[in-house]
Amino acid sequence: MNSLRNCCISQGSVIINTKVLQTGEIIEIVGDLLVAADDCLSSIRQKYLPEFKLRYSGYCAWRGVLDFSEIEDSETITGIKKAYPDLGKCLYFDLASGTHSVLYELLNKKLNRLWYVNQPEPEAKGTSVTTKVTSDMIQKMHQAAEKVWIPELAKVMKETKEPFLNFIYDSDPLEKIFYDNVVFVGDAAHPTTPHCPRSTNMAILDASVLGKCIEKWEISYMEEYQFIRLPVTSKQVLRVRRLGRIKQGLVLPDRDPFDPKSAREEDCQELLQRNTPFFNI
Ligand SMILES: Cc1cc2nc3c(=O)[nH]c(=O)nc-3n(C[C@H](O)[C@H](O)[C@H](O)COP(=O)(O)OP(=O)(O)OC[C@H]3O[C@@H](n4cnc5c(N)ncnc54)[C@H](O)[C@@H]3O)c2cc1C
């Protein structure tokens, strides 16, 4: 496994310096094309767009996975399965005033849960969007969960070992997703907030479309990739940003902050996943 250090273009080739993680050795690789799939903090994108800044969403996610393989008959698990009877078949989104949470079952008897909490932008940022938390922070989160969520969900949160915080960022859509022989895919091309469970799908589609464009081996393959993908991902990122702000009860210029306790039918309609642009691709 390699960790990319830097890249440059010389005589039409991409030259990268990369560290072989097993040995620590730095090696040089020369290629025709560099596909930057190095996540929302992409150091390759930073090289081409040094002024680029991620936009902090205004909230973070408490995350964690509860392995229930050895506590299947416990009160916590029977309780959560009773309260959320379709676990294993769907994702549950719970809405409360100014916050929302997500709960779903993973393979091998695991529960994945996320709780989005509005808070100021963290000071230590730039190299990671996740952070370890202190036991004091965890305790406060558990106490808050008991006030906001039903007891069954609060209990799952309490029993999840090693929860961590994920600061949620996105960015305004980029104008270009390729430079020289370097092309961006996935979160490197379109950092996005995670509210329409489809960012992985966006990354896979980027790779698929890029592959098809390369296959034709025409000089304009990168323009074609950008022409197909950029309008789609740009609209999706902005829709997902809006959905996140609505679910977190945050201010938007064209509507009142959403509160599930007083929401009208049309407010709820706006939350539907199928409103995501290009939902069917
Ligand atoms: C809270 C949260 C919930 C989410 N929920 C969902 C969901 O339900 N459904 C969904 O589809 N998506 C979800 N996502 C989004 C999803 O995780 C990402 O959009 C997706 O993983 C992006 O894929 P990617 O390949 O672009 O980047 P990543 O999956 O982040 O992969 C990038 C890889 O590049 C590596 N890398 C970075 N820099 C270097 C370097 N210099 N050298 C070598 N390697 C490097 C990283 O280590 C990493 O392995 C969620 C995201 C968050 C934050």
Amino acid at 89: K
Backbone angles phi, psi at 6, to 5 degrees: -155, 165
What's the start-to-end Cα distance of the chain, in Å? 32
* CA–CA separation, 106 and 87 (whole Å): 9
**Residues near 276 by beta carbon (within 8 Å), at least 6 away in sequence:** 196, 198, 236, 239, 240
What is the number of the ligand 1 atom nearest to the C-alpha of 189? 26
pLDDT of residue 123: 79
Q: Is any atom of ligand 1 closer than 6 Å to the C-beta of 194? A: yes
| 8 A C-beta contact, residue 209 and residue 228 | yes
Flag whether pLDDT at 4 surpasses 90.
Answer: no
* CA–CA separation, 166 and 46 (whole Å): 21
CB crowding 251-264: b at 16 or more within 10 Å, else e: eeeeeeebebeebe
Q: How far is the CA of 40 from the centre of ligand 1 (A)?
A: 7
CA nearest ligand 1 atom 52, residue: 194
Stretch 261-279: mean pLDDT = 92
> Could you report the per-residue pLDDT of 69-128, keeping only the tens digit for each?
999 999 999 999 999 999 999 999 999 999 999 999 999 999 999 999 999 998 765 678
Q: How far is the CA of 84 from the centre of ligand 1 (A)?
A: 28
Angle made by CA atoms 130, 136, 141, in degrees to the nearest 5? 70
Q: How far is the CA of 202 from the centre of ligand 1 (A)?
A: 11
> Could you report the per-residue pLDDT of 144-196, keeping only the tens digit for each?
999 999 999 999 999 999 999 999 999 999 999 999 999 999 999 999 999 98
* CA–CA separation, 143 and 154 (whole Å): 9
Q: Is any atom of ligand 1 closer than 6 Å to the C-beta of 198? A: yes
User: CA-CA distances (angstroms) from residue 240 to 28, 191, 273?
Assistant: 39, 11, 9
pLDDT of residue 197: 83
Q: Is any atom of ligand 1 closer than 6 Å to the C-beta of 3? A: yes
Q: How far is the CA of 178 from the centre of ligand 1 (A)?
A: 19
Q: How far is the CA of 187 from the centre of ligand 1 (A)?
A: 7
Q: Is any atom of ligand 1 closer than 6 Å to the C-beta of 187? A: yes
Q: Is any atom of ligand 1 closer than 6 Å to the C-beta of 113? A: no
Delineate the domains of the chain, giving CATH numbers in brackets. Answer: 1-32 (no CATH), 33-53+173-275 (3.50.50.60), 56-169 (3.30.9.60)
Task: Single out the residue of 181, 250, 161 nearest to residue 31, CA to CA.
Answer: 181
